[in-house]
Structure 1
Amino acid sequence: MHFLSDLGEDLARWRELAALYRLTLGPRQVKELQQAFRQSAIRCFVFDDNGQLIGAGRAISDGVYYTIIFDVVVYPTYQKMGIGTQIMQYLLERNQAKYVWLQAVPGKEAFYEKLGFARLKTAMGLYPHPEVQRKQGYIE
């Protein structure tokens, strides 16, 4: 297994990332994924020994006060093998801000609690289609 911080210009790799998201968090457009990852302060891409993309994660940050971790994903057949934990460690080790937040998939909160994260009481979100996030369990 090896870790990279960039997928470069290889469109096939970005398509591979979009396929991984389709299996885990839902459909994402390749161009939007490229933009989101490239504009993130910290990026992590994980590959197996055969060069297959098996995990990813990213964080946005002001570098001083706040970092927010998003989109941590692991290919389903590689889940429960510690790869998600390694992605989180990679992101956290490269973080320089004082406070770290993250958005967890509903039902996965316990994973992040094992890493020391606590549930927030005052975080709020503004979504273009809140009924979708409500149905998915992200908002009340």
Structure 2
Amino acid sequence: KSYHQPHQGKIPSEKRKRQTEIEGKRQQLEDQILQLQHFKSKALREKWLLQGIPAGSAEEEEARRRQSEEDELKVKKLEENIHRLEQEIQKLESEESQISAKEQIILEKLKETEKSYDNLQKVFQKSRCPGTA
């Protein structure tokens, strides 16, 4: 039985597209988390190393303060990126879920259509050949 199915090719490709996007975003998220962890441990190590060093000149202190501010900004930016990626992944997963639900509805409608078609065929055959059951 070959029926015209206009939506069936589109839904799997949309679903595949979302899954690919989700995989890409998850990889980006993982990379950002690793960068953040690395950067935080590096900042802690530097802070620990500097604790033993006596306060230097005003210029050295200013350079340390500036470096500390830059580090904080980098950490904040990484945390914002991680949060944004988590939201994007959540949105894509929601879209994928909606696509799956639509796919299920279309499959159910297709099954109903096939049943109706089969029933019509049976009725038609019975009307043409009343002696067959």
Fold conserved (TM > 0.5)?
Answer: no
Larger Rg: 2
More helix by share: 2
TM-score by length of structure 2 reads 0.17
Q: Which has the higher contact order (CA 8 A, sep 6+)?
A: 2
More strand by share: 1
